[in-house]
């Protein structure tokens, strides 16, 4: 039954997107075969009013009709320009995650169920919501903290959001499997793996304890950083469905006139923002991945405060070194070194020629050196780099794509504050310092120390590894002598799985046939 339900949810979503003109707005001229036929049908079925709207308005209306789960899908795909394309990703990034507020009584019920205490015992005051998004809404409140009453922001999950998301998730997986099966050109983008990424990201975002932990970690990392911080978390009043944090009084970064009226130095704020982001990325390997201006406040003393840490990114030491060496290689015009870094990191298969790859990298770098520094976009540089690496079969790296998307947003905010912003001059103190510390003699010593620690850990595990190797050798010998055998239970489960697969295939064919008949009736 769940397969049938997933099919009908998918058909409903497809119909709404068709009627709102979303599918017709896609670049269908690049399609061929059945996908192109479907695109032509979608153009015929688009409602008249939608035909004359911009694509982002069509997307917004369709997603509003489809509900909170599709808002999260749109937000997630906005972080994957490698999957949906840069233009559609930009349209999705502009979607406003603003939903209808749910009643205060339901919010109180969620809080009390999550924390196991009555609302009056938790807060000295609790007010009506001021904003609502797809997953949660925010209430102003006050708490007694160390004998002093202080204002806080209380974020509460939307009732029933998990059940709705998990139900819609089945249809997302169904669509992804169909893409991989019937659209060979999409297989490189791994749609099923992308859908798993959406599932994991949203599950994390729907557990507000994990957002609280991310705020706590970023707060510890940045406690000595100049001009940047995040709100503190009230752990006593935080649970799976509620997070209580410091109330931030400040001007939002998308209110440029308000920042000027408050007397803030906008070029200085732009530099602080970029340097803070690069510190988090290179120094800590942990960064806020949703730093649009609505999530950034500026306090009276000029400190930038980042809120809403539902989406965070991580980079390992190898990825951080990869990023730093690439940026440094472009600055020094050492394109061969940039190419070698891709091969050393294992991002480009060894079947390709490093010199040919360096030539492609040069095609990106040389035009940059003929431009004024303030016109060069680091985010655009990474975008072009990813486009070139596709030609050399570089596998999609979700952590690097998320970094690139966040850098586009942060750099855009900085240029809004200061149109003459020089990205390279602002980045040099942070990037240069990290390169000196990690790629020079000090970095070599750190690598040696890490290698010794790894060798010591391996030595401690040597007896267990030897025992496992001996056991595996005996089992392989036994299989070679007696053949591979399944027990009765394993054979029975394999038979059941094959039967389910055949049955679901028949159901899918009937659903497709019914859908085509219905569309034909609509056209006729």
CB-based burial of residue 248 (10 Å sphere; 0-12 exposed, 13-18 middle, 19+ buried)?
A: middle
Cα–Cα distance measured from residue 152 to residue 503, given in angstroms and rounded to the nearest whole number: 54
Distance CA 466, CA 217 (A): 39
Select from 138, 111, 115 the least CA-distant residue to 127.
138
Contact yes or no for 347/366 (Cβ under 8 A): no
Pairing of the two strands 296-298 and 251-252: antiparallel
Closest by Cα among 302, 306, 292, 299 to 268: 302
Of 271, 350, 330, the C-alpha closest to 304 is 271
Count CA within 13 A, CB hemisphere, residue 166.
Answer: 7
The contacts found for 252-258 with CB under 8 angstroms, 24 or more apart, are 252/293, 252/294, 252/296, 252/297, 252/298, 253/293, 253/294, 253/296, 253/297, 253/298, 253/304, 253/413, 253/417, 254/293, 254/294, 254/416, 256/416, 256/417
The string of DSSP codes covering 330-375 is HHHT-HHHHHHHHHHTT-S-TTS-HHHHHHHHHHHHHHHTTS-GGG
The packing angle between helices 266-278 and 398-417, to 10°, is: 170
Six-digit token pair at 384? Answer: 């072009």
Q: How far apart are CA 122 and CA 144, in angstroms?
A: 9
Residue written as token pair 């239970």: 489
DSSP assignment of 136-199 equals EEEEEEEEEETTEEEEEEEEEEPTTHHHHHHHHHHHHHHHHHHHHHH-GGGGGG-HHHHHHHHH
Q: At what angle do helices 398-417 and 317-332 cross, to 10 degrees?
A: 50
- Yes or no: say if 302 and 268 are a contact pair by the CB < 8 Å rule: yes
- The CA dihedral of 380, 386, 389, 393, to the nearest 10 degrees, is -160
Maximum CA extent, the chain: 83
Q: Are 218 and 311 in contact (CB under 8 A)?
A: no
Tokens 């750099």 belong to residue: 411
Active-site amino acid positions: 290
């Amino acid at each position: 039954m769940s397969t049938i339900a997933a099919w009908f949810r998918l058909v409903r979503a497809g119909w709404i997107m068709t009627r709102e003109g979303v599918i017709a707005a896609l670049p269908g001229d690049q399609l061929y075969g059945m996908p192109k036929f479907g695109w032509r049908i979608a153009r015929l079925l688009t409602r008249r009013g939608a035909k004359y709207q911009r694509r982002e308005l069509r997307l917004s209306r369709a997603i509003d009709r489809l509900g909170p789960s599709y808002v999260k899908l749109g937000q997630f795909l906005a972080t994957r320009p490698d999957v949906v394309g840069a233009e559609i990703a930009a349209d999705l990034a502009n979607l406003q995650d603003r939903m209808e507020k749910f009643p205060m009584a339901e919010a109180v019920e969620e809080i009390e169920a999550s924390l196991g205490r009555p609302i009056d015992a938790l807060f000295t005051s609790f007010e009506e919501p001021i904003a609502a998004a797809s997953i949660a809404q925010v209430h102003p409140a006050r708490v007694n903290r160390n004998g002093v009453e202080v204002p806080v922001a209380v974020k509460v999950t939307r009732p029933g959001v998990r059940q709705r998301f998990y139900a819609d998730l089945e249809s997302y997986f169904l669509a992804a499997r169909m893409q991989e099966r019937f659209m060979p050109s999409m297989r490189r983008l791994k749609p099923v793996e992308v859908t798993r990424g959406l599932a994991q990201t949203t599950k994390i975002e729907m557990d507000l304890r994990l957002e609280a932990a991310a705020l706590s970690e970023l707060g510890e990392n940045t406690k000595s950083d100049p001009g940047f911080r995040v709100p503190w978390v009230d752990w006593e009043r935080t649970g799976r469905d509620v997070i209580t944090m410091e109330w931030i009084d400040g001007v939002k970064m998308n209110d440029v006139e308000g920042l000027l009226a408050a007397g803030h130095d906008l070029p200085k704020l732009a530099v602080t923002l970029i340097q803070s982001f690069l510190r988090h990325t290179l120094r800590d390997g942990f960064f806020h991945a949703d730093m649009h201006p609505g999530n950034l406040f500026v306090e009276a003393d000029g400190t930038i405060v980042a809120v809403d840490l539902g989406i965070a990114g991580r980079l390992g030491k190898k990825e951080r070194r990869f990023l730093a060496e690439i940026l440094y290689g472009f600055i020094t015009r050492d394109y061969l070194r940039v190419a070698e870094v891709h091969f050393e990191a294992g991002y480009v298969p060894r079947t390709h020629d490093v010199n040919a790859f360096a030539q492609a990298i040069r095609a990106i770098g040389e035009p940059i050196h003929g431009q004024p520094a303030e016109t060069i976009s680091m985010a655009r540089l990474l975008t072009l780099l990813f486009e070139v690496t596709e030609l050399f079969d570089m596998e999609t790296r979700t952590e690097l794509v998320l970094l690139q998307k966040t850098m586009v947003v942060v750099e855009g905010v900085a240029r809004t504050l200061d149109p003459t912003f020089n990205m390279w001059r602002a980045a040099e103190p942070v990037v240069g310092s990290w390169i000196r510390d990690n790629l020079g003699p000090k970095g070599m010593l750190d690598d040696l120390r890490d290698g010794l620690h790894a060798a010591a850990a391996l030595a401690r595990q040597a007896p267990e590894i030897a025992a496992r190797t001996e056991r595996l050798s005996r089992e392989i010998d036994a299989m070679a002598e007696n053949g591979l055998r399944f027990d009765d239970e394993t054979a029975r489960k394999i038979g059941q799985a094959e039967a389910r697969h055949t049955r679901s295939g028949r159901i899918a064919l009937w659903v497709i046939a019914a859908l085509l008949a219905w569309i034909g009736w609509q056209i006729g």
